[in-house]
Structure formats: structure tokens, C-alpha cells
């Protein structure tokens, strides 16, 4: 997952509104959003290479999602980052305890941003600055740096989300998730991947022959416990593959 924007409003009738894109190589085998056969309480897509996931919910009201941190040249971690989401969704450990335990061994993973929560609280952990943080009400975004790092696509997506908080229609949220426009060169971050790649990665929705947005996801959480989780999947050049719409 490479872009997540979300409105966290714990006292609102709709505490969490989230829109996210998962960017990955198209060749990496993946299952779309579904109830897991080996863990029926979990609803998420699945990375078939390592067994984890990038975003999901469970039947007990838990939610988790992550992005990686862009660190070219850094060796991969010993453990898959997708395990961080999967382990939380399959456990009943308190959120603060879970993140404190992860913080003590964050070096086992590549750089990551991890969100975990339910209807009452939402917590965040950056693997490179492993001090868990409980989030206050607000509109947030995270891509491949720290939370709210003002990369152009993150600023654009947060602003778009903010425009739809009164009536968070899924089609409108998916609409800004499919923005293919790259950022102007003068506004590109410098993360060590070269100008051409920085430009490719600067759009909200990434499309190319080999790497791009594999899934767009909208999550709507209501105070009464009901949730709607919608995922649209894509292939090379952004070709639409399918949609799953779950109400749990």
C-alpha cells in the first residue's frame, strides 16, 4: 500500500473514512479482497508471495493498513511487512501492546507505516521512528515517507478527501484515487530513485507496464459497528480487473 488518506472522527456517526491505493509490481501474485479461509474473521486481500496483507478488517471491528517507506538501496527486512497487518487482524492483543511489541523489533522489517484501530481509537507507528502514537481526530495521509509528509500526491488526495466528508460517496472517493496526473517536476520529492521514476510515482494512481496501482480501496466505518469495504483491482497500464464490495 503506497497511499492512504483518512478522516478520523471518533465522536462522529461515521468515525473512519479511508481511501487508499496499493502500488506493487504486477507480477507479484495477489488475491483480491475476500474472507480468509484459514482465518474466517479476516476480510482482506492477500499477498500470495509472503502470506500477509496491506489492508483489512476483522469481524471484531479491528482495522489495519500499512505503507512501505521508500528507501532505495536498503536491504529488505527479514520479515514481510504484510505480516504486521495480518498478525493484528488475527489477534486480540490490545492495540498499544501490539505496537509496543512491534516497535521493539521494527528493524526486522523494511521501513513501514502502520495503522491499527477500531471504532474508538486509531494508532500509528513508523518503523524508522518506533514510538507508537495515538491519533487525535483529524484528516491524515501517509504515503512512502512519514505521516503527513507533504508530497504532492498526498496533499492532493487529502484535499480531495476533505471535500467529501459530509457525503462520502464511494464513487467520489474512487474518483480521486484514479488521478493519473504526475506532479510538476519542481514539486517532486528527492528519494534517490531518479527523476523519471520520481515522476512516475508522483501521481495518485500509478500505471505502467510493470509496476503500478494494483488495488484501490474505500473503507467506511459507522459508529453502530457496520462497515463497508470496497476494493477495485487493476493490472498493467491501469486496466480494470474487478471489484469486491463487502458490508460487514
β-strand partners of 114: 66, 125
pLDDT digit string, tens, across residues 66-85:
999 999 888 888 999 999 99
Is the pLDDT at 1 greater than 70? The verdict is no
The residues near 151 (Cβ < 8 Å, ≥ 6 apart) are 143, 144, 145, 183, 189, 202
Which helix (H) or strand (E) segment holds residue 43: the answer is strand 42-47
Q: What are phi and psi of 112, to 5 degrees?
A: -150, 160
DSSP tag of 74: P
- Specify the pLDDT at position 73: 81
Domains of the chain: 3-247 (3.60.60.10)
Report the Cα 179 to chain-centroid distance in Å.
17
Angle, helices 152-162 vs 170-177, to 10°: value is 170
CA distance 231 to 238: 14
Distance CA 197, CA 211 (A): 11
Query: From CA 109, how far away is CA 68, in angstroms rounded?
Result: 10
Give pLDDT, residue 76.
86
**Predicted confidence (pLDDT) per residue in 131-175, tens digit:** 999 999 999 999 999 999 999 999 999 999 999 999 999 999 999
Per-residue confidence at 119, pLDDT binned at 50, 70, 90? confident
pLDDT tens figures, 165-223:
999 999 999 999 999 999 999 999 999 999 999 999 999 999 999 999 999 999 999 99
Amino acid at each position: 500500500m503506497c497511499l492512504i488518506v483518512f478522516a478520523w472522527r471518533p465522536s462522529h456517526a461515521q468515525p473512519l473514512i479511508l481511501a487508499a491505493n496499493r502500488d506493487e509490481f504486477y507480477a507479484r501474485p495477489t488475491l483480491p479482497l475476500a474472507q480468509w479461509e484459514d482465518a474466517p474473521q479476516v476480510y482482506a486481500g492477500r499477498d500470495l508471495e509472503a502470506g500477509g496483507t496491506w489492508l483489512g478488517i476483522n469481524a471484531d471491528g479491528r482495522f489495519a493498513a500499512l505503507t512501505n517507506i521508500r528507501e532505495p538501496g536498503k536491504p529488505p527486512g527479514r520479515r514481510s511487512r504484510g505480516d504486521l497487518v495480518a498478525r493484528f487482524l488475527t489477534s486480540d492483543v490490545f492495540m498499544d501492546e501490539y505496537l509496543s511489541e512491534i516497535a521493539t523489533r521494527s528493524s526486522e522489517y523494511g521501513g513501514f507505516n502502520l495503522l491499527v484501530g477500531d471504532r474508538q481509537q486509531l494508532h500509528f507507528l513508523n518503523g524508522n521512528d518506533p514510538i507508537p502514537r495515538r491519533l487525535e481526530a483529524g484528516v491524515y495521509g501517509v504515503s512512502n515517507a512519514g505521516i503527513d509528509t507533504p508530497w504532492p500526491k498526498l496533499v492532493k488526495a487529502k484535499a480531495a478527501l476533505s471535500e467529501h466528508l459530509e457525503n462520502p460517496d464511494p464513487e467520489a472517493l474512487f474518483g480521486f484515487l484514479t488521478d493519473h496526473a504526475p506532479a510538476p517536476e519542481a514539486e517532486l520529492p528527492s528519494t534517490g530513485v531518479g527523476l523519471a521514476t520520481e515522476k512516475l510515482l508522483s501521481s495518485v494512481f500509478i500505471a505502467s507496464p510493470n509496476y503500478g496501482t494494483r488495488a484501490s480501496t474505500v473503507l467506511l466505518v459507522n459508529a453502530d459497528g457496520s462497515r463497508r469495504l470496497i476494493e477495485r483491482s487493476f493490472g498493467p497500464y491501469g486496466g480494470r480487473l474487478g471489484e469486491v464490495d463487502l458490508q460487514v
